[in-house]
Chains A and B, each alone.
Chain A
Amino acid sequence: MARPMGPVRLKKTSPATLAVGAALCIFILYFLIGSSTPDFSASRKATAAVHHLSPPTSPFRKPTGSGKPKPPPVTRYNLNNVTITPDPLESRENILLLTPMARFYPEYWDNLLQLSYPHELITLGFILPKTKEGNTATTELQKRITKTQKYGPEKDRFKSIIILREDFEPPLSSQDESERHKMHNQKIRRAAMAKSRNSLLFSTLGPSTSWVFWLDADVVETPPSIIQDLARHDQPVVAPNCFQRYWNAEKKEMDERPYDFNNWQDSPNAQELAKQMGPDDILLEGYAEMATFRSLMAYMHKDDGLLHEEVPLDGVGGAALLVKADVHRDGAMFPAFPFYHLIETEGFAKMAKRLGWQPIGLPNYKVYHYNE
């Protein structure tokens, strides 16, 4: 079939070309509207702060364009309206999830992403040491954060994320398990850990947090509904049982064993030991040299036990810990000095008790520690 040539050709446009053109238009307009940064839902925008000088538990509006920035507004916070209820989902309570981090485990982040509590109500807070290892961990953490907050689906993105770097030298260069657990290193290590936890807590708590959820960076597996499950108990301080999965060479299969021994009930032996100690000595758990005969929650676990069984505790570990924000607001912190011969999380339990808050543990509710 001969086709006319010349100007006539210009007039003729095939629908295919049109379709391609239309597609191109759509493509271009799509990129015009959608800028490089992600957009957030209206409910998120409603909770955003208007100025960067604001509680870090909320996102803030990016300063736009030139012009003199206005002074921050007078902001009112009514703490009488910050509820702490057994059903935090119902009253849309804000969770502050705090993690002191020395190493970044991708499994930790994957576990965070699978939490079923609405992410737009969860603020993450991290504190990392200013060492080479800390720098590496920070870089990796930031990579994962960018991936989730910028390119991830809306439901995965967290309300806000705070990364802090420590302002003191870490006492030990080695994070090896054997070195870490040496008794004479414990007091210095845990005092530094207490400082990290307090720095993280008191610079991020803010006026809208209802619950503080402490989760260690090496806890890599929790039930997705852990926040709702622990809050359900309506207790000031709730500690689940921390276990570790390992390869059992005898049974030739994967097995699990108790890991965190800082969740305990006091014993007369331990109190007797404490009485004989100097004011700067501390009691430690899990050392043969210091037999405290405390009842450890790690060994209270029963395979056929009730999942939500509660036991009162006198000392808690920090692997996973749900705390009502009021407990911290009243002043309960992690003593970096021997407090009743206790330090860090165990001292925290004691201080909470001094303020009238009784910690409890859930021996049959398990979270899993990374296996090094």
Chain B
Amino acid sequence: MLPFASSGSKVTPRHHVGGYSNGYPRGSTFDISPHRFQPRGTASAYRSRRTQSFVRLAIVAAVLFFLILLSWRGSSALSIFSLGLLAHDQDFQLETTRYYDLSNVQGTARGWEREERILLCVPLRDAEPHLPMFFSHLQNFTYPHHLIDVAFLVSDSKDRTLEVLVQNMEAIQASEDEKMPFGEISIIEKDFGQVVNQDVESRHGFAAQAGRRKLMARARNWLLSAALRPYHSWVYWRDVDVETAPFTILEDLMRHNKDVIVPNVWRPLPEWLGGEQPYDLNSWQESETALALADTLDEDAVIVEGYAEYATWRPHLAYLRDPFGDPDMEMELDGVGGVSILAKAKVFRYGVHFPAFSFEKHAETEGFGKMARRMDFSVVGLPHYTIWHTYEPSVDDIKHMEQMEREKLAAEEAEKEKAEKAMKLKESFGDATGQWEKDKSDLANIALEEKKETGAGAPAAGTEDKTDAKVAAGKAQGKTEDKTGDKVNAGKDGVEDGKT
């Protein structure tokens, strides 16, 4: 027999269940147990008290243990009552292990059907004026938005690029339209200490090119390496200053199923410059002349296209454009431009990047094309599939436009003077006409006197002449007005160009 079983303990389960027992005897309270065993010996009472204190101690210990357990595990007491079924924001579970099979993200011709993810890379620097245009392009993409991850690199910007970017992207992600929000959005800041200015002249000056291109290459590599994930099948590089591009450009380029593919990039021009012009001269095929030239240059030299200093005689994608040509026609390339590049993610995963050093005498996107070829990837361009870059007047263009403006003003002035002269002449001529009229009427009077009733039509003819002269003057006036109108329009254009 257990020693405790016969203790005759007064403690009943009611007294301590759930830990409510405060240790005081409940003698005065209503007791429904009818079969109480009475009376009790003193020894038994002593024993019972001892047992009670023991139980109390155990309960206190249990409660303490729980409190310690709770605080140690850091989980909220609520989870006890919710039985762990409710999930709390503060109490989420972490997943630390990720598994990816890269053979699932190779990139195919119909990626949108296989739910292939695209990484859209956009390098930015002081790009605030272009952003509204870019966001409209972004929202218009027909490729399923949830499959597009967007990564921006904002470097060395002095304007509000970053703020505008964050605001707009957050608005897009919070959009009511289910089809609008994109996948992962990364906004990466990194300053490289830009030495070269971003204005058109310093950007495109020959001497600045090599250094500038190497810096651009670094920026691109930093962006890519921070944003490329094991779940990307494609990478699309897009500049913000593209003005017009088909909404379906991602699908259009993807359909070709090439490792690296670029469209043709042109830009619209003012009428006096011919209306349009090839813009991106970095997409080209290698030529013997260029290879021979490359051999003569030192290790760190960088050949840049589109400058008279390096006459390479390479066939350029841009110059092969036929506005009515087949947009699906392909052309093999060795160097590519960076305005709009679609590449399979595996190209970048295998190590092809934008050389920030002279790689086979090329850097940045042209070096990228060269390196991709070196690793036997296909690099093609579409000569008749064109997107349009914005027109930024160069310093020469601006000078030219100012010149044109001056010429216009001068012409206007001359016109005015001419008109004034004409007016004066007319006035004097008008006087003369008056005189002539007078003389005429005098003559007529004389004639009238001489031959009665024959000169009746003469004054009428005189008035007709007068009206003619007025009309001519009016015409001259109208011309000057037209000119002024032209000037106003040109001025507006100028302002717009300046903006863009």
Chain A proximity of B14: nearest CB distance (Å): 9
Chain A positions 310-355 with a Cβ under 8 Å from a chain B Cβ: 328-331, 333-337, 351, 354-355
Report whether B92 and A331 are in contact in the complex, using a CB–CB cutoff of 8 Å: no
Complex alpha-carbon distance, A199 and B351, angstroms? 7
Q: Which residues of B contact A158 (CB under 8 A)?
A: 96
- A35: CB under 8 A from chain B? yes
Question: For the complex, what is the distance from the CA of A164 to the CA of B75, rounded to whole Å?
Answer: 33
In chain A, positions 34-58 with a C-beta closer than 8 Å to chain B are: 34-35, 37, 39-42, 44-45, 48, 51-56
- B477 CB to closest chain A CB, in angstroms? 59
A-chain residues with CB within 8 Å of residue B414 when the two chains form the complex: none
Query: How far, in angstroms, from A226 to B447 measured CA to CA in the complex?
Result: 127
Residues of chain A with a CB closer than 8 A to B166's CB: 74, 76
Determine if B185 and A73 form an interchain contact, defined as CB atoms under 8 angstroms apart.
yes
B76 nearest CB across to chain A (Å): 9
Q: Are B226 and A205 in contact (CB under 8 A)?
A: yes
Residues 68-94 of A, flagged 1 when their CB comes within 8 A of B and 0 if not, give 000111111111100000000000000
**In whole angstroms, what is the CA distance A80 to B156 when docked?**
11
Q: Decide if A60 touches B95 in the complex (CB within 8 Å).
A: yes
**A247 to B99 Cα, complex, angstroms:** 39
Which residues in chain A, 195-216, are within 8 Å of chain B measured between CB atoms?
A: 195, 198-199, 201-207
- Is B83 an interface position by the 8 A CB rule? yes
A79–B97 contact, CB under 8 A? no
Q: CB within 8 Å of A: which of B38-96? A: 51, 54-55, 58-59, 62, 65-66, 69-70, 73-75, 79-80, 83-84, 87, 92-96
Known: A45-B92, A77-B186. A34 touches B97 (CB 8 A): no
Report the interface size for chain A: residues with CB under 8 A from the other chain.
90
Contact of B130 with A by CB under 8 A = no
A119 to chain B: closest CB distance in Å?
11
Known A34-B73, A64-B87, A331-B218; contact A18-B16, beta-carbon cutoff 8 A = yes
Partner of A11, one of B4, B12, B59, B102: B12
Q: How far is the CA of A316 from the CA of B350 in the complex (A)?
A: 20
- Interface 9-mer from A24-32, A180-188, A237-245, A301-309: A24-32
Contacts of A80 in B (CB 8 A): 189-191
Contacts of A157 in B (CB 8 A): 96
CB of B102 within 8 A of CB of A166, answer: yes
User: With an 8 A cutoff between CB atoms, is B298 at the interface?
Assistant: no
Interface residues of A in 94-128 (CB under 8 A from B): none
* Cross-interface CB contact of B97 among A25, A145, A334, cutoff 8 Å: A145
Point out the residue from B75, B146, B221, B230 that lies within 8 Å of A203, measured CB to CB.
B230
Are the CB atoms of B94 and A61 closer together than 8 Å? yes
Report the minimal beta-carbon distance from A148 to chain B, rounded to whole angstroms: 10
Check if A336 sits within 8 Å of B351, measured CB to CB.
yes
* Inter-subunit contact A26/B186 (CB<8 Å): no
Q: Are A33 and B73 in contact (CB under 8 A)?
A: yes
Of the candidates B9, B73, B80, the one whose C-beta lies within 8 Å of that of A39 is: B73
B96–A161 CB distance below 8 A:
yes
Compute how far the CA of A333 lies from the CA of B354 in the bound complex, rounded to whole angstroms: 11
**Residue pair A53, B4 in contact (C-beta under 8 Å):** no
A278 on the interface (CB 8 Å rule)?
A: no
**Please, which residue of chain B has its CB at the minimum distance from the CB of A203?**
B230
For residue B375, CB closer than 8 A to chain A, the reply is yes
Q: Does A364 contact B (CB under 8 A)?
A: no
**B182 part of interface (Cβ distance < 8 Å):** yes
- B103 contacts the other chain (Cβ, under 8 Å)? yes
A-B contact pairs, 5 of them (CB 8 A): A56-B229, A80-B191, A167-B101, A202-B348, A336-B350
Q: Could you list 13 further interchain pairs (A-B, Cβ under 8 angstroms) beyond the known A33-B69, A130-B103, A165-B101?
A: A3-B6, A18-B55, A25-B62, A26-B62, A53-B184, A165-B100, A167-B102, A198-B349, A207-B188, A207-B226, A328-B225, A330-B218, A331-B357
Binding site for A on B (CB under 8 A): 1-2, 4-9, 11-13, 16, 33, 35, 37, 51, 54-55, 58-59, 62, 65-66, 69-70, 73-75, 79-80, 83-84, 87, 92-103, 105-106, 146, 149, 166, 169-170, 173, 181-191, 217-218, 221-222, 224-232, 346, 348-351, 353-358, 374-375
